[in-house]
Amino acid sequence: MKVAVEINYPPKTTQMISLMMKTYVLPLTLAGIFFAAAPVSWADDVLIASWNFNDEEERLAVSHGAGTMTLEMDEGFDWFGGTTENAVGDDPAGAAFSPQGGTDLANNGKGVTFALSMSGFTALNVSYATQGTGTGFTTQDWSWKVDEGDDFVSVGDPIEPPGSFATVAPTGLSEVAELTNADAAWIRVVFDGATGASGNNRLDNIQFNATPIPEPSTYAAVLGIVGLAVAVWRKRRGAGMRGHAKSAVPPLL
């Protein structure tokens, strides 16, 4: 004796779900993937300024980009051998900025200030190669301000220089909202903890990178492209679905 097996789901419901999925889910997923991926491709970090200390005539001159570097110490620094660690492009090792404890350890608590513009940028990232000798500074403390008359504000944990050149990146500056789009920004590193007059740190290939802020017109252009792509896709789907209950699903866009 034969028993007929019936499908539990009414074919009409299954068809409706399938149509809904095809009509809404794919375009929204594609748009979501586009927006999730977009910041990576648009917003790669840009080098604002860097120093490699290789110019014997003008050691403090910016090597790439725009900015100035000012020393707070009058003496007790030198230009020892540098490194290609964290170098920009093919920059050779050349020399490194080499502050020392100085006479009577006068350079403990002194530092260096970089002035640059964050106009059109956000999420400042600093990186550089550094090393220290046994009686050199034990900490390099980074801070910022956007008003020349203000006090510097320290961020993150101080960098503790390793015994041989390695790239370090102080944390915290990238989250400072005040730096975003600031016409002028001052970034300072203060050295401390030296126990010998000739004890030193070396710093080389100091890079300031930041993320460009997209113009509103860029967002508008991308929205337009996504909208157009979805419209074309829906039109093509619509042509393919004619006569297949197309009117059962209300238009989304």
CB 219 within 8 A of CB 102: no
Shortest distance, position 133 Cβ to Ca ion, whole Å: 18
Q: Considering only residues 194-223, where is the footprint of Ca ion by CB under 5 A? A: 204
Shortest-Cβ-distance residue relative to Ca ion: 82
Shortest distance, position 95 Cβ to Ca ion, whole Å: 5
Compare residues 54 and 174 and give the one whose CB is closer to Ca ion: 54
Shortest distance, position 51 Cβ to Ca ion, whole Å: 8
Question: What is the C-alpha to C-alpha distance for residues 19 and 16, in angstroms, rounded to an integer?
Answer: 5
Which pair of structure tokens corresponds to residue 129? 């190669």
Structural Rg of the chain based on CA atoms: 29
Shortest distance, position 97 Cβ to Ca ion, whole Å: 9
Question: What is the C-alpha to C-alpha distance for residues 216 and 220, in angstroms, rounded to an integer?
Answer: 6
- 27, 67, 76, 82: which one binds Ca ion (CB under 5 A): 82
Compare residues 141 and 204 and give the one whose CB is closer to Ca ion: 204
Question: What is the C-alpha to C-alpha distance for residues 63 and 53, in angstroms, rounded to an integer?
Answer: 8
Closest CA to 205 of 126, 136, 137: 126
Task: Count H helices and E strands in the chain, helices first.
Answer: 3, 12
Binding pattern to Ca ion, positions 16-55, x when CB under 5 A?
A: ------------------------------------xxx-
Which pair of structure tokens corresponds to residue 123? 């999420």
Compare residues 54 and 140 and give the one whose CB is closer to Ca ion: 54
Closest CA to 137 of 170, 163, 161: 161
Shortest distance, position 53 Cβ to Ca ion, whole Å: 5
Compare residues 45 and 91 and give the one whose CB is closer to Ca ion: 91
| Sequence-separated (6 or more) residues with CB below 8 Å from residue 58 | none
The answer to whether 76 contacts Ca ion (rule: CB under 5 A) is no
CB 202 within 8 A of CB 131: yes
**Contact stretch for Ca ion (CB under 5 A) within 1-9, 16-24, 75-83, 101-109:** 75-83
Compare residues 85 and 141 and give the one whose CB is closer to Ca ion: 85
Residue where the block lists tokens 């794919």: 26
Using CB under 5 A, list all residues that contact Ca ion.
52-54, 82, 94, 204
